[in-house]
């Protein structure tokens, strides 16, 4: 039997890629067909996503695929970053550019909504961690501000569902994404009407929820005509990018945790059921859906966004690559300065290096001076944050954790992975670096019957992609650094 081809769109907050997967004899080969930039666009004081440009880039990739790839792919699927959504009018037209999750309109929204529904009740209903960017609080901000867009909306579609609609004309919401919104009840397995009622938003604007690996429908006539692709099936893959990445973890058993390492670091465990307890609430763990009806019990950690924003700030003096910065950091003195990566000052500052310097000044530490010092500070602080979260995982997860899988872009950095192993004290298995695209592709194969289960997906991943194992060494210095970090963390929490 010949190779089966699948086309994955993996859209991140920094860039989008069209990845072609070829599955033959239990092995997956991937290659990039097209890469294009993505960024939040500022329009009259608000941050939005340019969905029109993104869709044009997707069609360009499909055109490339139609002209260069034989045979044509068996299916197409889209995954994206989380929480954001678009609104449709009753005639199916798009009501404006979707807001981006870092937009300031959610400032104060959490505290204000807690006056309608207490924090404890929201967590009891949803099991989702509290972040101002969550879909719940984005919707509340629109309600609070009297948004005419929301008043005119007939349908709400999350970002991957919106692209599926543009490709097929069909409106559905995929499970892994629905669970991240803080509008979904994982116990009832449906939208939480109590919260929608508290918002004053009709449940009618929400879509039917389908599991990952559902065929949404064929590519519509317009998309087929514009790109030259046949009317191939469009699949609702694990459409939240972290869900796709976790599906591609080359793991076995259940004594492992993971970090999906990119702009954000998503760290947690895979659980057969959601973990919704007072302790998980107090520790701010979230319960997000995954493939096979499992749940990602995890925490969002500010990840390589910190280094990305520093790198952008330094472009005036030199255009550093991530490899350049990692090599410079190798020779920098360890533990010279530490930060709490999740401090609110790092969410969207105008000048990230200055935000880091200001944090160090406030906490009585020597300020980083060079890109080497900043990079070392960021990497060590992330590694210590991972140790803190792993300690918290062990308080809510009933199984031992003996290995840590790191996948995504951060798995490329041998320094970050080694520092993480040293900090957490257990082996770190790094790879695959393209886990999100791999998970997207293999869930498509699951949808079309080429793969039978999540366990089989992981067999294919282990057979197809090499990993690197980092054993922990140095422990004494890390223990002292961890004690310092815990003080910084407590100071940030209690600020």
Average pLDDT over residues 81-103: 96
Does 241 qualify as catalytic in the annotation? yes
Is residue 75 within 8 A of residue 6, CB to CB? The reply is yes
Looking at residue 2, what is its pLDDT?
79
Mean pLDDT of 394-410: 97
Name the residue among 92, 97, 181, 185 with its Cα closest to residue 137: 181
Q: How confident is the model at residue 1 (pLDDT cuts 50, 70, 90)?
A: low
- Tens of pLDDT, residue by residue over 248-305, are 999 999 999 999 999 899 999 999 999 999 999 999 999 999 999 999 999 999 999 9
Number of neighbours of residue 474 by Cβ within 10 angstroms:
13
- The predicted model scores a pTM of 0.94
156 pLDDT band, cuts 50/70/90, is very high
- Provide the 8-state DSSP code for 213: T
> What pLDDT score was predicted for residue 475?
63
pLDDT of residue 495: 64
Segment 472-483 mean pLDDT: 87
Does 4-241 match 251-431+465-495 in CATH topology? yes
Domain segments of the chain: what residues? 4-241, 251-431+465-495
The predicted model gives 459-473 an average pLDDT of 96
What average pLDDT does the segment 321-345 reach? 96
Residue 428: predicted pLDDT:
98
Q: Which of 350, 353, 396, 403 is nearest to 378 (CA)?
A: 353
CA distance 325 to 99: 32
- pLDDT of 178 > 70? The answer is yes
Contact 336, 372 (CB under 8 A): no
Q: Counting Cβ atoms within 10 Å, is residue 386 exposed (0-12), middle (13-18) or buried (19+)?
A: buried
| Listed residue (250, 235, 224) closest to 176, CA to CA | 235
pLDDT, tens digit (0-9, with 9 covering 90-100), for 211-233: 999 999 999 999 999 999 999 99
Residue 494 pLDDT greater than 90, yes or no: no
Mean per-residue pLDDT over the chain, rounded? 96
What is the share, in percent, of the chain residues with pLDDT greater than 70?
A: 99
Domain 4-241 top-level CATH class: alpha beta
Where is average pLDDT lowest: 292-296, 433-437, 472-476? 472-476
CATH for the 251-431+465-495 domain, from 3.20.20.70, 3.10.20.70, 3.40.50.1820, 3.30.420.40: 3.30.420.40
- The tens digit of pLDDT for each residue in 179-220 reads 999 999 999 999 999 999 999 999 999 999 999 999 999 999
Q: What mean pLDDT do residues 137-164 have?
A: 97
Q: What's the chain's Rg over C-alpha atoms?
A: 22
**Residues paired with 48 in a beta bridge:** 41, 99
Residues 130, 284 contacting (CB under 8 angstroms): yes
Q: Is the pLDDT of residue 14 over 90?
A: no
Give the pLDDT score at 40.
93
Mean pLDDT value of segment 76-97: 97
SS3 breakdown of the chain: % helix, strand, coil, rounded to 5?
45, 20, 35
- pLDDT of res. 221: 97
* Active-site annotation holder among 161, 241, 342, 422: 241
């Amino acid at each position: 039997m010949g190779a089966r081809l699948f086309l994955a769109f993996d859209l991140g907050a920094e860039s989008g890629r069209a990845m072609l997967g070829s599955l033959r004899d239990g092995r997956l080969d991937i290659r990039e067909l097209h890469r294009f930039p993505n960024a939040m666009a500022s329009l009259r004081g608000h941050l939005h996503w340019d969905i029109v440009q993104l869709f044009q880039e997707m069609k360009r990739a499909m055109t490339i695929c139609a002209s260069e790839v034989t045979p044509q792919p068996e299916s197409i699927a889209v995954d994206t970053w989380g929480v954001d959504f678009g609104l449709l009018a009753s005639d199916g037209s798009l009501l404006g550019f979707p807001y981006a999750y870092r937009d300031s309109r959610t400032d104060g929204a959490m505290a204000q909504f807690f006056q309608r529904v207490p924090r404890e009740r929201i967590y009891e209903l949803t099991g989702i961690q509290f972040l101002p960017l969550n879909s719940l609080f984005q919707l509340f901000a629109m309600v609070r501000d009297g948004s005419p867009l929301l008043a005119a909306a007939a349908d709400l579609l999350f970002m991957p569902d919106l692209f599926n609609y543009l490709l097929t004309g069909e409106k559905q919401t995929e499970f892994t994404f629905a669970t991240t919104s803080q509008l979904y009840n994982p116990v009832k397995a449906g939208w939480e009407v109590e919260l929608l009622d508290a918002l004053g938003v009709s449940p009618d604007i929400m879509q039917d929820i389908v599991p990952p690996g559902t065929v949404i429908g064929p590519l519509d006539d317009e998309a087929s005509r514009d790109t030259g692709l046949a009317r191939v099936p469009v699949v609702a893959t694990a459409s939240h990018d972290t869900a796709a990445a976790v599906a591609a973890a080359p793991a076995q058993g259940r004594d492992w945790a993971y970090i999906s390492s990119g702009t954000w670091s998503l760290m947690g465990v895979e659980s057969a059921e959601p973990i919704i307890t007072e302790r998980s609430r107090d520790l701010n763990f979230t319960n997000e859906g995954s493939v096979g009806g499992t749940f990602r019990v995890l925490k969002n950690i500010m990840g390589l966004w910190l280094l990305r924003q520093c790198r952008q700030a330094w472009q005036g003096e030199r255009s550093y690559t991530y490899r350049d910065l990692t090599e410079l950091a190798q020779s920098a003195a360890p533990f010279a300065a530490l930060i709490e990566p999740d401090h609110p000052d790092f969410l969207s500052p105008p000048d990230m290096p200055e935000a880091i310097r200001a944090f160090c000044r406030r906490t009585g530490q020597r300020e980083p001076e060079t890109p080497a010092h900043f990079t070392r500070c960021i990497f060590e602080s992330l590694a210590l944050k991972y140790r803190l979260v792993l300690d918290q995982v062990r308080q809510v997860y009933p199984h031992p954790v003996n290995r840590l899988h790191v996948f995504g872009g951060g798995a490329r950095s041998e320094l970050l992975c080694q520092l993480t192993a040293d900090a957490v004290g257990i082996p770190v298995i790094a790879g695959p670096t393209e886990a999100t695209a791999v998970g997207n592709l293999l869930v498509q194969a699951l949808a079309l019957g080429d793969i039978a289960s999540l366990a089989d997906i992981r067999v294919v991943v282990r057979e197809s992609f090499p990993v690197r194992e980092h054993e922990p060494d140095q422990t004494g210095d890390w223990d002292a650094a961890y004690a310092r970090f815990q003080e910084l963390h407590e100071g940030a929490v209690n600020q």
